[in-house]
Structure 1
């Protein structure tokens, strides 16, 4: 009888989807390879140059090696055994196949000795500027692979977390009352058991990540950190001085709480902030913004901002309006004058929400101190 037999073994690629078949560390590789089979596995950015014997003696049917360094004999064998191999790309300032999120130490490596321009973050931005308009399909493919790998790592990191997004402009200066308020908000949300996620840049975004970092310490720690940071109030004229001040805070108070930053190289003038412990940095800004909002399952807070923050309000309002994610995500806009007079997004948001399921999930408050209660109320209560 033609076709698949009732007791036939499914292909390795199908079996791979029945469990966790991603391998993202050498320890995971060593554990799996003891079974004698890597069939159907995805091995992501693992240095296998010292694992030649294991690769020569292991089944690699329908496995995929993404950016894994290995000896030529091992690479030839796994290809012959049915594996697909994407080799590491030399001379890139970033790893397109990375299996984990960035950390601030990685992106700012070299900052202390050589300044910001020598860091991987700055060098990757310059590569992006050189390739974004040259029409090279290879460079475009590398950017896409990188951003997809970052999204996968972000999903793994946030699995099961209650995430609150904090949006706001990069112009908010250290030393200002607004910056201190955003930091207190990040601290309060973190102490309430939420995972703070921001756009990962300076200003309001940095303040919220700083507050999350400060959550385990006494309240006076944040006051002292704010004083220290105020010596470099903005990332212009010197990103180096701005970033060094942040790392001075981290050295003075090591072991802060974790939070997430989701910045982009699209805005090259916006460096990432050093207080987000886990950084999902993207080339494509639209993917970054939608991904951050979609993962903010416990609500989104909008601090005063300009065009980017306005865009984020309606990027979130649109799926809420059509209920494409099930229950609409609570949205809290902070600073009544800003959102009704200076940039009147609130009246339009109200007009959109009329007679829609999102109506009881939006609120406008005067200060950051009102945000936690507003989020709790919007989980089931009426609009304010």
Structure 2
């Protein structure tokens, strides 16, 4: 079942829970759980994710729960014993894990940087999650591997839900781009132009070009953006001090005062690259333990095109990962543009463009790849595109 089909399925309508018979049904909000309990619907085959089951203990003690899976959340001890005895499966949260593997929402930057101001970056949720993941990978802990996979699956559900109905433009680029430079300002202006046109900016969620694009998308006016750029230049990068870099960014974000409920940009960073802290300028952050899954989601959700600013190995990987489905696309398929910015960078410093152009000869790929000199040119291309004919949820844009 495609995501678009799944969203249209009656089971996704809280007013009609329990209709239809798919293999399993996920519930991660109290509204839907309450509706299930009020209708006394058998819960066999359901998955309850990150919920407090205490208020519903009475029904759960007598309901048919064979095949029910409870992922994390709050479960009173006596209720847990009752559920397991009657055929349910419970996967509890590991107290050693700094993040909730079963959360159903994206992170906010304030969650990931909790503790920064008082005790420094090393004590933040973000840093602790990275340290935990490294330790568990070294120990090859199967339970920790399961928790990481469940967490990333929850992130995927959350970001798909947030981007549902939006046209999304991905902006890729290197993490080394310094605040206060002309290139950083250009990347920020690119993000602002995309968001100002009603698109959502999607980045890898890290520093440098990614931070600049997220910042530009968040700023609601050119004047606000100009002020933010000036203020951020006081700390050009996260080396040598992540603390100073992140504290200044959080202050600038508070000054921007953006809280209008609109999804302007999303960052998708990864704990795999733990040396790169997440930037704070996204509407929401989908942080993954798996870099491979993170890359796949980042590219697959860029329904309105992809702009690639100068970068190094990670950015090159993203270019060819994005190019592959375009290369194999059907000839009559409406494809989103793939725009490389920086003629000298992509033809001489890292000569990706000649290989990309050679791949495009006689293929659909060749019709949608572009090499331009400036982010402004890239913005003009993606904003004139129909987004490859689909929104992030798979529905047509025209």
Structure-2-length-normalised TM-score:
0.86
Cα deviation, residue 242, structure 1: 0.6
Cα deviation, residue 268, structure 1: 1.0
Q: What is the CA deviation profile of residues 9-52 of structure 1, one whole-angstrom value per residue up to 9, with x for unaligned ones?
A: xxx9994539x943223343223321112523321111223442
Q: How does 1:327-366 map to 2 (within 5 A)?
A: 327-366=334-373
Instruction: Tell whether 2:125 aligns with 1:120.
Output: yes
Instruction: Tell whether 2:310 aligns with 1:304.
Output: yes
Q: Is the 8 A contact 1:13 1:63 kept in 2?
A: no
Instruction: Tell whether 2:255 aligns with 1:252.
Output: yes
Cα deviation, residue 379, structure 1: 5.0
Q: 1:181 to 1:134 in 2, by over 3 A?
A: same
Partner of 1:162: 167
Partner of 1:317: 323
Partner of 1:277: 283
Q: Is the 8 A contact 1:110 1:116 kept in 2?
A: yes
Cα deviation, residue 229, structure 1: 0.8
Partner of 2:70: 65
Partner of 2:294: 288
SS of match in other structure, 2:171: strand
Cα deviation, residue 138, structure 1: 2.1
Q: Is the 8 A contact 2:167 2:387 kept in 1?
A: no
SS of match in other structure, 2:70: strand
Q: How does 1:10-29 map to 2 (within 5 A)?
A: 15=20, 17=22, 21-29=25-33
Q: What is the CA deviation profile of residues 216-252 of structure 1, one whole-angstrom value per residue up to 9, with x for unaligned ones?
A: 3x32111111111111110111111111111101221
Cα deviation, residue 324, structure 1: 7.8
Q: Is the 8 A contact 2:343 2:371 kept in 1?
A: yes
Instruction: Tell whether 2:36 aligns with 1:32.
Output: yes
Q: Is the 8 A contact 1:339 1:345 kept in 2?
A: yes
Q: Is the 8 A contact 1:361 1:379 kept in 2?
A: no
Q: Is the 8 A contact 1:361 1:378 kept in 2?
A: no
Distance in 1 separating the partners of 2:279 and 2:310: 18
Larger mean Cα displacement after TM superposition, 351-360 or 96-105: 96-105
CA RMSD of aligned residues (A): 2.3
Distance in 1 separating the partners of 2:240 and 2:131: 18
Instruction: Tell whether 2:224 aligns with 1:221.
Output: yes
The higher-RCO structure (CA 8 Å, 6+ apart) is: 2
Q: Is the 8 A contact 1:362 1:378 kept in 2?
A: no
Distance in 1 separating the partners of 2:385 and 2:359: 17
Q: Is the 8 A contact 1:360 1:378 kept in 2?
A: no
Structure-1-length-normalised TM-score:
0.89
Partner of 2:58: 53
Q: 1:33 to 1:324 in 2, by over 3 A?
A: farther
Q: 1:86 to 1:14 in 2, by over 3 A?
A: farther
SS of match in other structure, 1:266: helix
Partner of 1:205: 210
Partner of 2:14: none
Cα deviation, residue 337, structure 1: 1.1
Distance in 2 separating the partners of 1:193 and 1:316: 23
Cα deviation, residue 61, structure 1: 4.1
Instruction: Tell whether 2:81 aligns with 1:76.
Output: yes
Distance in 2 separating the partners of 1:128 and 1:78: 30
Q: What is the CA deviation profile of residues 282-318 of structure 1, one whole-angstrom value per residue up to 9, with x for unaligned ones?
A: 1111111121001111100000111111111001111
Distance in 2 separating the partners of 1:38 and 1:252: 50
Q: Is the 8 A contact 1:167 1:309 kept in 2?
A: yes
Q: What is the CA deviation profile of residues 131-158 of structure 1, one whole-angstrom value per residue up to 9, with x for unaligned ones?
A: 2132222222222222122112222221
Among candidates 242, 247, 255, match of residue 245 of structure 2: 242
Work out the number of aligned pairs and report it: 367
Q: 1:377 to 1:344 in 2, by over 3 A?
A: farther
